Amino acid sequence: MKVEKEIIKRIEQAEKLYAQYGKTISNDETVKDIIAHLEQVIEKRRRCMISCGMTDICRRCDTEEGGSCCGKGIEARYDEWLLLINLLLGCNLPRERYEDNSCLFLGKDGCILKALHVICINYLCKKIEERVSRDDLLRLRDMEGDMIAAIFCLHEYLKRSYSKHEISEKDPAKACTVL
């Protein structure tokens, strides 16, 4: 029950930040640049996951075999800044679970978020490692590194620039340079 209250509180904090500063943040050139890059990486990773069969393996495991890596409690890893990034990417944040024992962000067709926590990006179960080719896994891992770097840069930039619900001095030069 405590996790439920905490994640709802973080969702509300993210929505408050978005309501107060979403337009300003969306017009921030550094944010626009990082988001444009992040959206490309997310789409590239999504296509790779589909083409290598990973999406089907995960769906089958969840719906037919009763397993899911996206279990209840994973959502506790998400802070208001990562949730804000998802709002900036056009995601809607739920207040109720699609399935009782699943992550709050797991919907009917998979994760409803675009900007994921590092554990959600990096974790690959044994089935995936056994059934997906080594070359596809290497390509996927490369994209995951790009995705993690972009999310990290945006996450840290937003925290530095917009923390405490006040707009502070923003210095684009202090944005992450790993992109």
pLDDT of residue 179: 55
Look at residue 179 and tell me if it is in a domain.
no
Question: Mean per-residue pLDDT for 145-171?
Answer: 81
Look at residue 123 and tell me if it is in a domain.
yes
Quote the mean pLDDT of the chain.
89
26 in helix, strand or coil? helix
Question: Mean per-residue pLDDT for 22-50?
Answer: 95
pLDDT of residue 1: 55
Does position 62 have pLDDT exceeding 90, yes or no?
A: no
Report the distance separating Cα 128 and Cα 162, nearest Å.
Answer: 39
Report the distance separating Cα 73 and Cα 70, nearest Å.
Answer: 9
Look at residue 119 and tell me if it is in a domain.
yes
pLDDT of residue 168: 43
Look at residue 138 and tell me if it is in a domain.
yes
Is the distance from CB of 37 to CB of 91 less than 8 angstroms? Answer: no
Look at residue 55 and tell me if it is in a domain.
yes
Does position 169 have pLDDT exceeding 50, yes or no?
A: no
Look at residue 135 and tell me if it is in a domain.
yes
Quote the domain boundaries for residue 118: 2-174
Number of structural domains in the chain: 1
Does position 89 have pLDDT exceeding 70, yes or no?
A: yes
Cα 21 to chain centroid distance, Å, stands at 20
One-letter amino acid at 126 equals K
Report the distance separating Cα 49 and Cα 52, nearest Å.
Answer: 6
Look at residue 12 and tell me if it is in a domain.
yes
Look at residue 107 and tell me if it is in a domain.
yes
- CA Rg value for the chain: 17
Question: Mean per-residue pLDDT for 103-127?
Answer: 92
